[in-house]
Amino acid sequence: MKKMYIKRTISLLLVLLLVFPAIGLATSSGSIISKVYFQDEAGNMVYVDYEAAINQSLEGDSSLYNQIVHYVGIAESRGRAIYLETNTGKILNYKLAMMDNLFRLEDIIQNVKYEVEDEIDYTHELKIVDGEPVIAPREVHANFRININGPEELELGQVASFSLRAYGDGNGNVDYRARYEYVLRGGDGRLEYFDGNSWRTIPLAGYLGPSSEFTLTPDWDLTTVLRFRPSQKGTYFLELRLIDLDNNTILAHAEHTLNVTGEDPVDFPEAVENVFVGKSPITNKTYANIEIKEEYVSVVKAVYVNNNLAYQMEDKPSQWRAEVPDGTRPEDLIGRIRVELEQQDQDPEEEPRVVATFHPLTMLPKFGYISVVVENVPGAAKFSVVYHLSDDDDGNEVIRETAIVNIGEQAGSLFYDPAQYDTVVIKVFDVNENLLHTFEDVVPVN
């Protein structure tokens, strides 16, 4: 096999020398011209894959080689810049060699006078597009990044919200056929994706984004929101990749670690007899019916599911009902149902409290999102943030308010600069967006 390979290589070189004798393709050291750079009539530095042109010619298609002869011939006759790159990576200044009356590769390959240390900075490329030779602008690939903003620590029973931002630097000229690929490892739980209108449950691994695939432009900038309720304590890893489908390469990648602590719930609260989940064929809504034990019915003050207030049935006081996401199973609600009893009334000395956390954007640290933890506000389910945006020309403060979102999610994006305005206002609402409490002069933490 080795002798046959050597014979084939020698035969190929002989054919190349016979068919393409212009400047001598090979030297005694085995160096072969691989790439050519030349200056065209518009002053552009043009790159062409000379080796590919030769291979195509041997297969019967000489269109690219003929164009090399045409365009490089013009550069030669005008004394314009020409550089040759060999298969060993050595770059030679062929324009300078020709001025010294040296034309063969054999004559200049070992002369350091003609060696070029730096790579050739070219702006265009000579290639065949749709069967026609063209000098086209060089393909410049943008750099893409992914940021995952979300909590790093979580108590079991809480919901973690993640803001996933993928963006390009806007400097390239190449579009990709791409898609998002994600995986959440480390344990089980409920993962949800906000599709722009509502939350929907998704697997712990798969694809997400505008569609199964999309056109990724150099100035791409998209934020995706996920939320996750772990079902057990441990360390979880959220990973997101931006995939170039045509080349099966990773354009951007990020991973986020979430440590979940606390005790696993052994069962439903003591006051709960059983839980049933069903779906209405009329409204297509899914509900959880929480049946309260007989001895607790008279002392139940409120029932919450996923921090949302449930409704007590008018004709059956032992049953409370709350809407839940489609696909929910009764066992999914373990640790997510809370029953308040009359004898567990809030201590009047315990004041309502809120802790707000600011999650800045990486590229614009004065803009970001706020998440909250609310205590001692019965029925608290949603919140909004009132913040200072700027001052107008008369020195008056310009105030803005975010949309109302569920507690456990992030509200924003909003402007926050402690050097100018170091506090925000947090409004807390119930599940029906009735205002329950307003926290003034809240200083967010990072």
Digit-coded pLDDT (tens) for 388-430: 888 777 778 888 999 999 998 999 888 888 878 889 999 999 9
Higher-pLDDT residue of 2 and 433 is: 433
Domain boundary, last residue among 315, 344, 373:
344
Which CA distances in Å does 137 have to 123, 125, 134, 219, 434? 6, 6, 10, 18, 59
Of the two residues 179 and 197, the one the predictor is more confident about is: 179
Q: Is residue 330 part of a domain?
A: yes
Q: Can you give the pLDDT at residue 232?
A: 83
Which pLDDT tens digit goes with each residue over 304-345? 988 789 999 999 999 999 999 898 999 888 878 889 888 644
Q: How would residue 268 be classed by pLDDT, with cut points 50, 70 and 90?
A: confident
Tell me which amino acid residue 236 is.
Y
> Please, are residues 260 and 234 in contact by the beta-carbon 8 Å criterion?
yes
Residue 39 has pLDDT above 60, yes or no: yes
Residue corresponding to tokens 């329950």:
436
Whole-angstrom CA distances from 53 to 15, 49, 61, 67, 346 are 14, 6, 8, 9, 82
Instruction: Quote the pTM value.
Output: 0.45
Answer yes or no: are the C-beta atoms of 443 and 417 closer than 8 Å: no
The answer on pLDDT for 241 being more than 70 is: yes
The average confidence (pLDDT) of the chain is 86
Strand partners, 81: none
Same structural domain, 176 and 228: yes
Residues 426 and 358 in one domain: yes
pLDDT band for position 264 (50/70/90)? low
CA distance linking residue 380 with residue 309, whole number of Å: 9
Per the domain annotation, does 34 fall within a domain?
A: yes
Pairing, β 124-129 against β 45-49:
parallel
DSSP symbol at 62: -
Q: What angle do CA 299, 304, 308 make, to 5 degrees?
A: 145
Burial class (CB in 10 A: 0-12, 13-18, 19+), 264: exposed
Map tokens 């990486």 to a residue.
362
Of 26-40, 89-103, 143-157, 409-423, the range with the lowest mean pLDDT is 26-40
The DSSP result for 165-194, as a single string, is EEEE-S-----EEEEEEEEEESS-EEEEEE
Given this model, what pLDDT does residue 7 score? 41
CB atoms within 10 A of CB 403: 9
Q: Which two tokens stand for residue 10?
A: 């020698």
Residue 387 lies in a domain: yes
- For the cut 60, the answer to whether the pLDDT of residue 3 exceeds it is no
| Banded model confidence at residue 276, pLDDT cuts 50, 70, 90 | very high
Closest CA to 410 of 156, 161, 158, 155: 161
The CATH number for 385's domain is: 2.60.40
User: Is residue 317 one of the residues assigned to a domain?
Assistant: yes
d(CA 123, CA 244): 24
Pair 18, 124 in one domain: yes
DSSP of 373-428, one letter per residue?
EEES-TT--EEEEEEEEEE-TTS-EEEEEPPPEEBTB-EEEEE--TTT---EEEEE
Considering its fold, how many domains does the chain have in total?
4
Decide if pLDDT at 68 tops 60. Answer: yes
pLDDT at position 181: 93
Strand partners, 374: 354
pLDDT score for 213: 83
Range 329-340 burial, b when 16+ CB lie within 10 A, else e: ebebbbbbbebb
**Residue 267 maps to a domain:** no
Q: Return the pLDDT at 265.
A: 62
Question: Who contacts 252 (Cβ-Cβ below 8 Å, separation ≥6)?
Answer: 144, 145, 146, 166, 241, 242
Note the pLDDT of residue 129: 82
The highest-confidence range among 263-277, 281-295, 324-338, by mean pLDDT, is: 281-295
85 shares a domain with 24: yes
pLDDT tens-digit map of 347-378:
445 789 999 999 988 888 888 999 999 988 88
Which residues form the domain of 299? 272-344
Beta bridge partners of 125: 47, 136
Does residue 390 sit within a domain?
yes
Say whether both 185 and 125 belong to one domain.
no
Of 137, 152, 181, the residue that ends a domain is 137
Q: Which residue bears the tokens 């009539």?
A: 41
Please report whether residue 46 resides in a domain: yes
Percentage of the residues of the chain whose pLDDT score is greater than 70: 90
332 in the same domain as 368? no
Whether 185 and 248 map to the same domain: the answer is: yes
Are both 151 and 238 inside the same structural domain?
yes
What's the average model confidence in pLDDT over 115-135? 88
Q: Which residue has the higher pLDDT, 188 or 48?
A: 48
> Based on the domain organization, do 377 and 432 belong to the same domain?
yes
Compute the average pLDDT of residues 272-280: 94
Q: Are residues 151 and 256 in the same domain?
A: yes
Rounded Cα distance between 382 and 265, Å, is 24
Span 376-390, pLDDT tens digits: 888 889 999 999 888
Identify whether 21 is part of a domain: yes
Single-letter amino acid code for the residue at 332: D
pLDDT of residue 65: 93
Whether the Cβ atoms of residue 354 and residue 428 lie closer than 8 Å to each other = yes
Burial (CB count <10 Å: 0-12, 13-18, 19+), residue 234: middle
pLDDT of 425 reads 95
Please report which confidence band the pLDDT of residue 27 belongs to, taking 50, 70 and 90 as the band edges. low
Last residue of a domain, one of 240, 261, 282: 261
Same domain, yes or no, for 46 and 80?
yes
Domain at 215, CATH number? 2.60.40.10
> Residues 148, 238: one domain?
yes
Question: CB-hemisphere CA count at 13 Å for 280?
Answer: 13
